[in-house]
Amino acid sequence: MNLIQLITDASASNSASNYLPIGIQLIFAAGFVFTMIALSAWVGPKRKTSDKLDNFASGIESHGNARQPMAIKYFLVAILFVLFDVEVIFFYPYAVNFRELGWSGFGAVLMFVGFFLAGFIYIIKKGALNWED
């Protein structure tokens, strides 16, 4: 095969008519979605009661104002959990490659654990995990 045949074969297989079935499928999919939404709005029940118009909160009766202040301890514990959880994830690469990393890798992991424990001791000394106020 020569170069001209390769170019013409490539351009013939990459024409706009090859994308016509995909375009038709997209049009039918969009039409189906629009039809189903319109049909459910037209045929579906339209009973607007006070129960249906209330905000849904997982089946729990809502009471009070949603803007009332919440104890910062909840957020602090959540952030600390994410922080220490992500730090523990960094042990996985060492566990997989501990033979290739050798003593220098072991020293790096010991340093990482040291920083990890120093941060944890700092958090305990500051009383971040004490719930009694």
Q: Does residue 120 surpass a pLDDT of 80?
A: yes
Question: Could you report the per-residue pLDDT of 27-55, keeping only the tens digit for each?
Answer: 999 999 999 999 999 998 888 887 777 77
State pTM to two decimals.
Answer: 0.42
Give the helix ranges, DSSP H, for the chain.
3-13, 20-43, 50-53, 72-89, 91-96, 98-126
> Which CATH number is 72-126 given?
1.20.58.1610
Domain residue extents for the chain:
72-126
